Amino acid sequence: MGSTEHGRVSVREFQANGSRIAASEVEAKLDQGNIQEAEDSLREGLSLNFEEARALLGKLEYQRGNLEGALRVFDGIDLQAAIQRLQSSSSEKPQGKKGRTQNESASGSQHAASLVLEAIYLKAKSLQKLGKFTEAADNCKRILDSVEKIFYQGVPNIQVDNKLQEIVSHAVELLPELWKQAGCYDEAISAYRRALLSQWNLDNDYCARIQKSFVMFLLYSGVEASPPSLAVQTEGSYVPKNNLEEAILLLMVLLRKFSLGKMKWDPSVMEHLTFALSICSQTSTLAKQIEELMPGVYHRIDCWNSLAFCYSGAGQNDCALSLLRKSLHKHERPNDLTSLLLAARICSEDSHLAAEGVIYAQRAVNNARDQNEHLKGVALRMLGLCLGKHAKVASSDTERSRLHSKALESLVAAIKLEPNNSDLIFELAVHYAQHRNLSNALRSARHFFNQTGGSMLKSWRLLALILSAQQRFSEAEVVTDAALDQTARWEQGPLLRLKAKLKISQSRPMDAIETYRYLLALVQAQKKSFGSFQISSKVRFLWVLRIEVTHWTN
């Protein structure tokens, strides 16, 4: 067919090889079910071969929405015949004066192959729309297998037709989606990796969309991907060990492309990276990524707030609070609720910052009134915690009593809004216990125990301590023994120490000594099991323990 134009479908007519046929004429034959006559009209009128004519007819049916009709037409196409023609033309090397003619022949073969490949792609799309996902994936894979075979035969050495490249890009992007819809997740993962690791000459937009789609699959599908096969691993390259590592690697690549100007900014990339790095406790790495973003991507206040959350998650509360103070300045965003709550939470952990935390928490309560009850409950909880912490450094007993009362008032108000918040129930129980309101403390402690099903060590310890404070030592010891039965050996230390003190309170020093000896043996065993890097964290506890044992054995 030389270098003339092939297979362009318009609303009113078909054009190819300098000839035209009215689309209505072909459509009339299709409407009558005369597929053979419609095909003959195209072949004779436009000088097309069988595969090309069928490709045009199928495309027309697809565009008209007749998917079943399109499939009937597409089923007659011989993909391999078109591919073999393209392989044959691309393997010929131009010589002398015939070079131009041979290049034109290769170009014409590419046009023909593009038309047939597009037909197979539309066949896959038709099957997808009809819910036949596995069959659609098989057809889409045929396109990539065929094109990959052509490329191995040297197609990159000649100018690749734009239409051919477009079809390849569409197919590469579609295949993993089809496997996912078919429920074939291993095949989907292989298709994603093939798309990103093979040389498909994808432009940056296609590549970015595929990478982002793969990231979402890795992070949220619940399917654990197996490591890449050895065949695609390059010596010395980094090989991800699990879904999370592979997703983070892809997200880092996307951010790198953005920084190099190869893709437009997509805020969802940072959202996915934030999730991925947060669940593996790498918020300091996230902070570094935020800091390296180009100026102007985030508003400076949004940047401060994001960094504050990152530093707080990494345990760098001083840095986080410093950024939040800037963000909450009266000339910036003084009433940003999430920033106020984070600032209050940080301050609630330090008695010397608690007064500042009270200000943030009160502002959060005021701003949460017009929002949902959950946020108001969180704000009241933070206010109660900050007031309770501030009371510890109060200058007078009167002031201390006033702050304690206000703290209790805030916590009670919070629990009315969130009656099933187990953390809040625990904090209220601790607050009652600290102020010798033991009956309410015990009721809240039991509520927390029931909420958590006894699955948390601190619920057992709190119950035992409150019972002990009520002079109910034998009951406290029963609770402690039950907790020991439910607790792993290496976590029994605090419970054993409590049990020893309970025995002392019941005037049973010899039993207490036996418990302390067991506890010392446990600590020594831990030192041997975990090595020297764990010793420093236990030195102070061991020193206190030895003093207690010495005191009660003398």
* Helix, coil or strand: residue 199: coil
Q: Please tell me the predicted confidence (pLDDT) of residue 436.
A: 87
Has residue 551 got a pLDDT over 50?
no
Structure tokens of 253? 């690549």
Confidence of residue 188 (pLDDT cuts 50, 70, 90): very high
Count Cβ atoms within 10 A of the Cβ of residue 297 and give its class: 0-12 exposed, 13-18 middle, 19 or more buried. middle
- The rounded distance, in Å, linking the Cα atoms of 434 and 143 is 72
Report pLDDT digits (tens) over 101-116: 555 555 556 677 788 8
Check residue 107 and give left, alpha or beta (phi > 0: left; psi -120 to 50: alpha).
Answer: alpha
Structure tokens of 66? 């007749």
DSSP assignment string, 515-540 = HHHHHHHHHHHHHHHH-GGGTGGGHH
Handedness of CA 321, 327, 328, 330 (dihedral sign): positive
The values of phi and psi at residue 323, to 5°, are -70, -40
Report pLDDT digits (tens) over 505-522: 888 888 888 888 888 888
From 337, 350, 332, select the one nearest 379 (Cα to Cα).
Answer: 337
Count Cβ atoms within 10 A of the Cβ of residue 82 and give its class: 0-12 exposed, 13-18 middle, 19 or more buried. buried
DSSP assignment string, 123-149 = HHHHHHHTT-HHHHHHHHHHHHHHHHH
Query: Would you say 495 and 469 are in contact if contact means Cβ atoms under 8 Å apart?
Result: no
Structure tokens of 115? 């038309």
Report pLDDT digits (tens) over 38-61: 777 777 767 677 788 888 888 888
Angle at 403 between CA 397 and CA 406, to 5 degrees: 140
Query: Would you say 350 and 318 are in contact if contact means Cβ atoms under 8 Å apart?
Result: no
Q: Where are the alpha helices (DSSP H) in 221-314?
A: 243-259, 267-279, 283-292, 300-313
What residues pair up with 19 in beta bridges, in sequence order? 16
Chain center to CA of 311: 20
Structure tokens of 377? 């409950």
Q: How many CB atoms lie within 10 A of CB 436?
A: 8
pTM given for the model: 0.75
Pick the more confident residue, 87 or 252: 252
Which helix H or strand E contains 99, and what residues bound it? helix 99-129
Query: Would you say 250 and 211 are in contact if contact means Cβ atoms under 8 Å apart?
Result: yes
Return the percentage of the chain with pLDDT > 90, whole number. Answer: 43
- The rounded distance, in Å, linking the Cα atoms of 534 and 537 is 6
DSSP assignment string, 402-467 = HHHHHHHHHHHHHHHH-TT-HHHHHHHHHHHHHTT-HHHHHHHHHHHHHHHTT-SHHHHHHHHHHH
From 182, 23, 51, 178, select the one nearest 114 (Cα to Cα).
Answer: 51
To the nearest whole number, what is the mean pLDDT of the chain? 82
Structure tokens of 224? 């654990």
Count Cβ atoms within 10 A of the Cβ of residue 5 and give its class: 0-12 exposed, 13-18 middle, 19 or more buried. exposed
Has residue 546 got a pLDDT over 50?
no
Has residue 95 got a pLDDT over 60?
no
Rg (CA), the chain: 36
- The rounded distance, in Å, linking the Cα atoms of 549 and 209 is 65
Pick the more confident residue, 489 or 218: 218
- The rounded distance, in Å, linking the Cα atoms of 554 and 551 is 6
Residue positions counted in the chain: 554
Has residue 533 got a pLDDT over 90?
no
From 339, 272, 355, 279, select the one nearest 313 (Cα to Cα).
Answer: 279
- The rounded distance, in Å, linking the Cα atoms of 380 and 376 is 6
Check residue 425 and give left, alpha or beta (phi > 0: left; psi -120 to 50: alpha).
Answer: alpha
Structure tokens of 182? 């078919």
Confidence of residue 434 (pLDDT cuts 50, 70, 90): confident
The values of phi and psi at residue 262, to 5°, are -90, -5
Mean pLDDT, residues 253-263? 89
For the chain, the helix, strand and coil percentages under 3-state DSSP, each to the nearest 5: 75, 0, 25
Has residue 348 got a pLDDT over 50?
yes
Which helix H or strand E contains 15, and what residues bound it? strand 13-16
Report pLDDT digits (tens) over 120-166: 999 999 999 999 999 999 999 999 998 887 765 434 544 556 888 89
Q: How many CB atoms lie within 10 A of CB 387?
A: 27
Has residue 13 got a pLDDT over 80?
no
From 176, 162, 249, select the one nearest 209 (Cα to Cα).
Answer: 176
